[in-house]
């Protein structure tokens, strides 16, 4: 579905250059959840931003169903609402001065009038918010009245209103508590199955990646050092960085389970 | 549960809760309320016409009939001051509303679009801000010709850059906010983003600044009036009244003193209110 | 060495009184690492701030005592508690930048702190600075000492903060989410470091986190907090492998590791109660699978801050 080839992003700040993403190749297959893990600053978000048009690649190309997303300096939007995003911080990704209803309907502003009418009708809206676990009376409230998990549900509803096929999820649960994270992950997974969505799932949490993704790409200093089947990579990590990453995960081991790290 | 001090929260909460604690704000509110009340009521009931010449009664000292005395052509100073209050407050607020509205539109465009548009706009702004307020207002008023309308235009031009700068700064911060970034990913055009996200979120500091500025503007109008560059006699404008009354300070002290007192009280009251509002809306700057 | 007894903390606000901590009991022995876990808003940080006397102005401590080596910290004067902070009690917070002077070189900051707390000559202090940096596993201390905080990565900064906190050296280290802002690999190193300092110097540690994995790997004992109360306490191993309280159980079950990828996660439905008006009975009753009539009426109490494994749940009391 998405073909990334020789993609590069170089930020130049004054004299210095900073290579955020280094000649990257990656394929995202329709209907899959592809995970991206890596340490902070390894270029995960930058990669996602180039797909959704927030950062311009310095080199290389991204195609979406064969259609190039970047034409020189300009972002070629496939079709408004086809690619959507959910960001990490639900606090700042929702405009504090807009009601929940306006927030969810906002992406429709980019559509034609006819489509806006069709996709923004009240019935569809109500169905959608119910699906993500919100209530009708929430529509007239403002973001600050919601908890982190609820805000993330609002962000998910907003992403779904246009019926996208592909969603970039940049650390969608990193700001949430375990118990809330579980609710949101369940929702995301169910939605993906129901609507046959494709996700690019960015996270630094290995357990979340293991649970959510069929395939995973490990990023290290701007490069994808390993890509493959999640299970395969978790069981037989090849790259030293992947190995280090996996061995750093602090888990709650059961008494019988000795493979988890026990500190000296 | 997080305690959230965004202004939205405050909207749904009693602003009065915080205002109540701020005594000086209340002093300001009371003074201003009295002036407004009088300026509305007194002209309705006053037996005196603010512009009618009555040479027999010129230079009457304050008395039970003429509370603040009369001027060189026998007009009741108290009545004139309250007509002047209508004018000063009305014009002061009007100027600021216009300046703030223009400033916020230009400023948010400049800050959000950036690039060459921003560079050009900011050049102009820097140029205007390089001059002291008063000097520039005087020069502009002089060039445009001395009357109240031109003085208003001059003051507005002087004030707009402050709002442009403020709104631009806010817009540049907002531009990096995720909710603006997400709006960009939807493919919504920039104008709509400015209207839907940037302006509504940049407006609070502009309003705070505007309330702080009304008092200052009233002083500027009076100053221009005093210098003969603003409202012209016989308009009952405070500055113009003080200007003429000034020459009689030693003989007929009440003539310049009372308009001066009102000018001082109302701009002072407005400043107190402005401070109070800032503290309520903007907890960051609160002590 | 540290004991909190029956502590209640409220916040006066526009909408009324938030009961942020309710009947908090805790005891930390010398040389021990005690973990406090709970989701955000459960009162973890408030506990730490109460000990350090750093609560915000609108906080009201309505009841309770905080005993440090027998002295009630709540009765100490501002000056005395300030003297205690840094010298006796070191602290590390989530965001390392807040604890560092942005405009002062790392070496100088450490120098000042060490000089203040230890009776050393300037030359010895300089040595001690390098030593302190080496202790937190900074490989080239001479170089790092000359840097400014902004020139370092988040992980390095947190190490510096730990070095600063350990400079006195204190007998107690309070670390509030010290690794939450950091990557897994760096988290691993920092947690190791804390554990090592505890072992080498016998420093007691109060480690606050929402990450059960972290707790499982370093803490001797843990307290599980929910809605401003301790709901379960005991040895780490006991609590994590045989949790008693339904909340602790649900929390463990909600971890993505607890199920296979094709199964749904066992989320805890609902949300924690509003602390402005907490329920009469058990705070978890609205979300609990095992809720009984008594739960809604009467509040289950934890026996004390003692070391046995216990939970504040009617279930346990009914069965036992
Ligand atoms: N606008 C920018 N200007 C300069 N450098 C940038 C900019 N945005 C990102 N970078 C740099 O690019 C690199 C990759 O950043 P990116 O945000 O993609 O990291 P990430 O993997 O998403 O990290 P995190 O886990 O912290 O979100 C980082 O070193 C970052 O400092
Ligand atoms: N200054 C404050 N004013 C009012 N309420 C506060 C204040 N600080 C914290 N609280 C409330 O106290 C509760 C516990 O907070 P905290 O200890 O910071 O939680 P955490 O467990 O995430 O560290 C929360 O409900 C929070 O909203
Ligand atoms: S006391 Fe009752 S409601 Fe509370 S946790 Fe125990 S069983 Fe559940
Ligand atoms: Mg990122
Ligand atoms: Mg906290």
Q: What domains, with CATH codes, occur in chain A?
A: 1-82+167-178+194-264 (3.40.50.300), 90-163 (no CATH)
Res B17: pLDDT: 62
More confident residue, C306 or A188: A188
User: Is residue C290 in contact with ligand 3, taking CB distance under 6 Å?
Assistant: yes
d(CA B280, CA B19): 7
DSSP codes of every residue in C213-279: HHHHHH-SEEEEEETTEEEEEEEHHHHHHS--SHHHHHHHHTSGGGS-TTSPP----S-PPPTTS--
- Please say whether the beta carbons of B186 and A107 come within 8 A: yes
Q: Which residues of B touch A89 (CB under 8 A)?
A: 178
A interface mutation test: which of C33, C95, C183 has the most A CBs within 10 A?
Answer: C183
Task: Using pLDDT thresholds of 50, 70 and 90, give the confidence band for residue B23.
Answer: confident
Mean pLDDT, rounded, for B159-165: 95
- pLDDT of residue B15 exceeding 80, the answer is no
Burial class of residue C126 (count of CB atoms within 10 Å of its CB; 0-12, 13-18, 19+): middle
Per-residue model confidence as pLDDT tens digits over A125-134:
999 999 999 9
Given CB atoms, is B17 within the 8 Å cutoff of chain C?
yes
Of A108, A183, B198, B200, the closest CA to residue C264 belongs to: A183
Q: Which residues of C touch A189 (CB under 8 A)?
A: 264
What is the residue with the minimal CA distance to atom 12 of ligand 1? A20
DSSP, collapsed to helix, strand or coil, labels residue C4 as: strand
Tens of pLDDT, residue by residue, chain C (320 residues): 899 999 999 988 777 888 999 999 999 999 999 999 998 889 999 999 999 988 888 889 999 999 999 889 999 888 888 888 888 999 998 888 888 988 999 999 999 999 988 889 999 999 999 999 998 888 889 999 999 998 888 888 998 999 999 888 899 999 999 988 788 888 898 899 999 989 999 999 999 999 999 999 999 999 999 999 999 999 999 999 999 999 999 999 999 988 888 899 998 888 888 888 888 899 999 999 999 999 999 999 886 545 688 899 988 765 54
What is the radius of gyration, based on Cα positions, of chain A? 19
Residues in contact with B236: Cβ distance below 8 Å, sequence separation at least 6, in sequence order: B50, B51, B79, B80, B81, B83, B84, B87
Q: What domains, with CATH codes, occur in chain B?
A: 79-285 (1.10.3720.10)
Given an 8 Å threshold on Cβ–Cβ distance, is C14 in contact with B13?
yes
Of A211, A198, A174, the closest CA to residue A45 belongs to: A174
- pLDDT of residue A264 exceeding 50, the answer is no
Measured from the CA of C225, which atom of ligand 2 is nearest?
A: 21
Per-residue model confidence as pLDDT tens digits over A121-170:
999 999 999 999 999 999 999 998 888 889 999 999 999 999 999 999 99
Q: Which of A177, A211, A212 lies at the smallest CB-CB distance from C210?
A: A177
Report the neighbours of B using a cutoff of 3 or more CB pairs below 8 angstroms. Answer: A, C
Q: How many Cβ atoms from other residues are within 10 Å of residue C103's Cβ?
A: 8
Calculate how far, in angstroms, residue C249's C-alpha sits from the geometric centre of ligand 2.
24
Res B244: pLDDT: 87
Burial class of residue A60 (count of CB atoms within 10 Å of its CB; 0-12, 13-18, 19+): middle
Per-residue model confidence as pLDDT tens digits over C87-114:
899 999 888 888 898 899 999 999 999 9
More confident residue, A90 or B20: A90
Q: Which of B1, B182, B201 lies at the smallest CB-CB distance from A93?
A: B182
Strands laid side by side in the A2-13 sheet: A16-28, A2-13, A59-64, A67-68
Q: Which of B1, B14, B17 lies at the smallest CB-CB distance from C275?
A: B1
Given an 8 Å threshold on Cβ–Cβ distance, is C18 in contact with B13?
no
Given an 8 Å threshold on Cβ–Cβ distance, is A89 in contact with B178?
yes
pLDDT above 90 as % of chain B: 45
What stretch of H or E contains C34? strand C33-37
Per-residue model confidence as pLDDT tens digits over B177-213:
999 999 999 999 999 999 999 999 999 889 888 988 8
- pLDDT of residue A260 exceeding 90, the answer is no
Q: Which ligand is nearest to the CA of C58?
A: 2
Measured from the CA of C247, which atom of ligand 3 is nearest?
A: 5
User: Is residue C40 in contact with ligand 2, taking CB distance under 6 Å?
Assistant: yes
Given CB atoms, is A189 within the 8 Å cutoff of chain C?
yes
Res B287: pLDDT: 35
Calculate how far, in angstroms, residue C7's C-alpha sits from the geometric centre of ligand 5.
18
Per-residue model confidence as pLDDT tens digits over C134-143:
988 888 899 9
The CATH class given to the C2-88+168-319 domain equals alpha beta
Res A78: pLDDT: 82
Q: Which of C250, C280, C290, C297 to mutate to test the pocket of ligand 3 (most atoms within 8 A of CB)?
A: C290
What is the residue with the minimal CA distance to atom 6 of ligand 3? C313
Calculate how far, in angstroms, residue A42's C-alpha sits from the geometric centre of ligand 4.
8
Calculate how far, in angstroms, residue C261's C-alpha sits from the geometric centre of ligand 1.
30
Residues in contact with A83: Cβ distance below 8 Å, sequence separation at least 6, in sequence order: A51, A52, A64, A77, A164, A165, A166, A167, A168, B185
Q: What is the mean pLDDT of chain B?
A: 86
Measured from the CA of A18, which atom of ligand 1 is nearest?
A: 5
Calculate how far, in angstroms, residue C314's C-alpha sits from the geometric centre of ligand 3.
6
d(CA B129, CA B161): 7
Q: What is the mean pLDDT of chain A?
A: 89
User: Is residue C288 in contact with ligand 3, taking CB distance under 6 Å?
Assistant: yes
Calculate how far, in angstroms, residue C210's C-alpha sits from the geometric centre of ligand 2.
14
d(CA C106, CA C98): 14
Task: Using pLDDT thresholds of 50, 70 and 90, give the confidence band for residue A263.
Answer: very low
Burial class of residue B125 (count of CB atoms within 10 Å of its CB; 0-12, 13-18, 19+): buried
DSSP C280: S
ipTM above 0.90, yes or no: no
Q: What dihedral do alpha carbons B198, B204, B210, B215 form, nearest 10°?
A: -170
Measured from the CA of C246, which atom of ligand 3 is nearest?
A: 5
Q: Which residues of A touch C259 (CB under 8 A)?
A: 211
Report the neighbours of A using a cutoff of 3 or more CB pairs below 8 angstroms. Answer: B, C
Measured from the CA of C289, which atom of ligand 3 is nearest?
A: 8
């Amino acid at each position: 579905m998405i073909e990334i080839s020789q993609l590069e992003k170089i930020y130049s700040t004054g004299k210095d250059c900073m290579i955020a993403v280094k000649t990257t190749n990656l394929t995202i297959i329709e209907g899959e959840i592809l995970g991206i893990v890596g340490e902070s600053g390894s270029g995960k978000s930058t990669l996602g931003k180039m797909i959704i048009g927030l950062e311009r690649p310095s080199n290389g190309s991204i195609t979406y169903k064969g259609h190039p997303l970047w034409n020189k300096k300009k972002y070629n939007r496939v079709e408004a609402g086809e690619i959507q995003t959910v960001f990490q911080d639900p606090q700042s990704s929702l405009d504090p001065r807009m009601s929940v209803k306006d927030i969810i309907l906002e992406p429709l502003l980019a559509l034609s009038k006819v489509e806006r009418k069709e996709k923004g009708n009240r019935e569809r809206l109500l169905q959608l918010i119910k699906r993500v676990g919100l209530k009708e009376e929430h529509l007239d409230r403002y973001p600050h009245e919601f908890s982190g998990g609820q805000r993330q549900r609002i962000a998910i509803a907003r992403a779904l209103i246009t019926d996208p096929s592909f969603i970039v999820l940049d650390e969608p649960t990193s700001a949430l508590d375990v118990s809330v994270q579980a609710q949101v992950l369940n929702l995301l997974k169910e939605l993906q199955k129901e609507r046959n969505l494709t996700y690019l799932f960015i996270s630094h949490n290995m357990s979340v990646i293991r649970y959510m993704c069929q395939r995973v790409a490990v990023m290290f200093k701007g490069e994808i050092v390993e890509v493959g089947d999640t299970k395969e990579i978790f069981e037989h990590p090849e790259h030293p960085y992947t190995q280090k990453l996996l061995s750093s995960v602090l888990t709650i081991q059961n008494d019988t389970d000795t493979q988890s790290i026990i500190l000296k | 549960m997080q305690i959230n001090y965004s202004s939205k929260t405050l909207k749904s909460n009693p602003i009065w809760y915080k205002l109540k604690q701020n005594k000086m704000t209340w002093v300001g509110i009371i003074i201003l309320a009295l002036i407004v009340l009088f300026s509305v009521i007194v002209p309705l009931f006053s037996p005196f016409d603010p512009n009618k010449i009555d040479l027999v009664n010129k230079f009457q000292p304050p008395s039970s009939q003429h509370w603040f005395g009369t001027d060189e052509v026998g007009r009741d100073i108290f009545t004139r001051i309250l007509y002047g209050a209508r004018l000063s407050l009305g014009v002061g607020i009007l100027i600021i509303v216009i300046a703030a509205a223009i400033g916020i539109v230009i400023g948010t465009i400049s800050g959000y679009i950036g690039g060459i548009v921003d560079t050009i706009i900011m050049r102009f702004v820097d140029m205007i801000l390089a001059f002291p307020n008063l000097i520039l207002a005087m020069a502009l008023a002089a060039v445009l010709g001395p009357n109240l309308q031109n003085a208003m235009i001059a003051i507005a031009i002087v004030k707009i850059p402050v709002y442009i700068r403020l709104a631009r700064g806010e817009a540049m911060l907002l531009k990096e906010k995720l909710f603006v970034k997400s709006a960009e990913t939807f493919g919504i055009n920039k104008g709509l983003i400015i209207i839907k996200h940037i302006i509504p979120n940049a407006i609070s500091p502009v309003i705070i600044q505007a309330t702080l500025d009304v008092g200052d503007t009233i002083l500027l109008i009076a100053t221009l009036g005093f210098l003969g560059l603003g409202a012209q006699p016989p308009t009952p404008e405070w500055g113009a009244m003080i200007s003429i009354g000034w020459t009689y300070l030693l003989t007929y002290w009440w003539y310049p003193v009372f308009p001066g007192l009102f000018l001082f009280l109302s701009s002072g009251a407005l400043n107190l209110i402005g401070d109070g509002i800032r503290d309520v809306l903007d907890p960051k700057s609160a002590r | 060495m540290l004991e909190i007894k029956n502590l209640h903390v409220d916040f006066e606000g526009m909408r009324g009184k938030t009961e942020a901590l309710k009947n908090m009991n805790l005891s930390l022995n010398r040389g021990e690492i005690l973990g406090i876990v709970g989701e955000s808003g459960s009162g973890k940080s408030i506990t730490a701030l109460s000990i350090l006397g750093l609560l915000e102005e609108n906080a009201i401590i309505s009841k309770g005592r905080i005993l440090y080596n027998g002295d009630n910290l709540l009765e100490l004067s501002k000056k005395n508690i300030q003297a205690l902070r840094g010298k006796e009690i070191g602290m590390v917070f989530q965001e390392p930048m807040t604890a560092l002077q942005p405009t002062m070189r790392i070496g100088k900051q450490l120098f000042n702190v060490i000089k203040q707390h230890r009776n050393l000559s300037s030359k010895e202090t300089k040595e001690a600075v390098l030593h302190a940096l080496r202790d937190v596993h900074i490989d080239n201390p001479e170089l790092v000492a000359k840097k400014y905080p902004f020139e370092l990565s988040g992980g390095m900064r947190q190490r510096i903060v730990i070095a600063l906190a350990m400079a006195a050296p204190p007998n107690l280290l309070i670390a509030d989410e010290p690794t939450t802002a950091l990557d897994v690999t760096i988290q691993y190193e920092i947690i190791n470091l804390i554990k090592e300092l505890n072992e080498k110097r016998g420093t007691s540690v109060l480690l606050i986190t929402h990450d059960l994995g972290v707790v499982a790997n370093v803490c001797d004992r843990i307290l599980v907090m929910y809605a401003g109360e301790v709901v379960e306490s005991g040895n780490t191993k006991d609590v994590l492998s045989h949790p008693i309280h339904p909340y602790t159980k649900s929390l463990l079950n909600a971890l993505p590791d607890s199920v296979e990828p094709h199964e749904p996660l066992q989320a805890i439905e609902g949300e924690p109660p509003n602390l402005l008006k907490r329920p009469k009975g058990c705070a978890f009753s609205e979300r609990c699978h095992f809720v009984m009539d008594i739960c809604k009426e009467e509040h289950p109490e934890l026996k004390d801050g003692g070391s046995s494994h216990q939970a504040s749940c009617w279930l346990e009391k009914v069965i036992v």
